[in-house]
Amino acid sequence: MAAPHAQLAASQFSESQREARRRGLPSLEGRTIVITGAARGVGRVLAESCAQAGARLVLADLLENEGRETAEALSKAGADVRFAPIDLADPASIQRFAADVAGREGIVHGLVNNAAIATGIGGPAFDEIDLETWDRVMQVNVRGSWLATRALAPMLKASGSGRIVNLASDTALWGAPRLLAYVASKGAIIAMTRSLARELGLAGVGVTAVAPGILRNEATDYVPEERHRMYESLRAVPGPQTPEDIAPTVVFLLTHGALALTGQVLPVNAGFVFT
């Protein structure tokens, strides 16, 4: 992580700012960003990148211990950040979270709907998925993202430049097999992005989605090596991808200048899928 902000001459940048510029991160100075599923994995990397770009952060996750540890680590590195618990499967929890943000931050400039449940790649065929698994994935990935967006929408509108970035998946673009519940949920996220862009655009709120492929991180350790190799050999830019590779795109989509992209789905997968 970057060093805490230091007092420097006007022509210089802090270590954090230099790192942000090195990674191609645009500025999020003065913007309050909420990230769900931010305790670990992709969410934590997105939080780190937004912090380097200068955002004030509210990290949300069901994993309270890990979420507080992430917030503490970012705070020690100089970020303006706090953690608040949320359970996307529980509408009451989402409402409590939104009320807490309304009371403390007042307005929100960006929401990253990152939290999701993934079912195993190379898992059950479509006719072997149990109803409980299907319903749980839809409850968290689809309904939870909708309810989080609905609860925070008044604060996004109030900011005057609200941005929502939904984490979809390129599995919904190319139709990954033996992963139907997850693929269907991410397809729903793509469709929601387009519909919400038209509704919230009336208030100047931009809504976009990014659709990564498989990223090398702890959350994909369960993925069979064959599927990793398929992605890494068939990308236009071959090789592994990590959450750090998609973070600059997400950060940009949270800026003022990203409004022209509202409604778009960006497959941030180094050319595995083209649209």
- pLDDT tens digits for range 107-116: 999 999 999 9
Q: What are phi and psi of 25, to 5 degrees?
A: -85, 125
pLDDT 10s digits, 74-116: 999 999 999 999 999 999 999 999 999 999 999 999 999 999 9
Strands 163-167 and 110-113: parallel
Tell me the whole-structure pTM to 2 decimals: 0.91
Angle at CA 102, nearest 5°, toward 87 and 86?
A: 10
* Residue of 97, 182, 231, 272 marked active site: 182
182 labelled catalytic = yes
Provide the pLDDT for residue 203: 98
The pLDDT tens digits for 162-172 are 999 999 999 99
pLDDT attached to residue 234: 94
Report yes or no: 245 and 217 within 8 Å, Cβ to Cβ.
Answer: no
Q: Could you give the residue ranges of the DSSP H alpha helices within the chain?
A: 15-22, 41-52, 64-76, 91-104, 131-137, 145-159, 171-174, 180-200, 225-234, 243-253
CATH class of the domain at 26-266: alpha beta
Report the amino acid identity of residue 252: F
Q: What is the pLDDT of residues 35-51, one digit of tens each?
A: 999 999 999 999 999 99
- Distance (Å, rounded) from C-alpha 207 to C-alpha 198? 9
